[in-house]
C-alpha cells in the first residue's frame, strides 16, 4: 500500500490533510473511516473514489489543532490491523472448534 498527500493541503496546517492511496478502494476506505471517525479529536473523516477508471482513494482527515492528521492516520491503520488480527483469530478458533 502506498499513499501521498494531495497537493494544495499545505496551507491548511498539519491537522487537516487529504491522503491519496494507490490501488485501494471502498474496502479500505470504509473500514478506516469507521475507525477514525470515532476518535474524539477528529472533526471530520471521509473518503472518495475520484473516478472508477482510476484506482485511487482520497482519504480526508480534519482534527483539532492538537493532533497531526498523519498521526491519526497511522493510529487508524494500526487499529484496523488489530481488528483484522482479532477477526482472523476468532474465525480460526471457530473453525478448529467446528472441525473437532
For 26-84, what is each residue's pLDDT tens digit?
999 999 999 999 999 999 999 999 998 888 999 999 998 889 999 999 999 999 999 99
Contact, 25 vs 49, CB < 8 A? yes
Distance of CA 69 to the CA centre of its chain: 11
What are the backbone angles phi and psi of residue 88, rounded to the nearest 5°? -65, -45
Name residues whose C-beta falls within 8 Å of residue 9's C-beta, 6 or more positions apart in sequence.
16, 17, 18
Q: Domains of the chain: which residue ranges?
A: 2-99
- Region 92-97: mean pLDDT is 96
Q: Quote the CA–CA distance of 48 and 81 in Å, as a whole number.
A: 21
pLDDT surpassing 70 at residue 96: yes
Of the two residues 13 and 1, the one the predictor is more confident about is 13
Pick the CATH number of 2-99 from 3.30.360.10, 3.30.1360.10, 3.30.70.1150, 3.40.50.80: 3.30.1360.10
Amino acid at each position: 500500500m502506498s499513499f501521498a498527500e494531495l497537493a494544495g493541503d499545505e496551507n491548511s496546517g498539519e491537522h487537516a490533510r487529504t491522503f491519496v492511496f494507490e490501488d485501494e478502494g471502498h474496502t479500505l476506505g470504509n473500514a478506516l473511516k469507521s475507525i477514525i471517525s470515532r476518535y474524539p479529536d477528529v472533526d471530520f473523516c471521509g473518503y472518495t473514489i475520484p473516478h472508477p477508471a482510476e484506482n485511487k482513494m482520497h482519504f480526508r482527515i480534519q482534527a483539532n489543532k492538537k493532533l497531526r492528521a498523519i498521526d491519526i492516520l497511522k493510529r487508524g491503520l494500526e487499529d484496523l490491523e488489530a481488528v483484522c488480527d482479532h477477526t482472523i483469530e476468532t474465525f480460526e478458533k471457530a473453525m478448529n472448534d467446528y472441525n473437532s
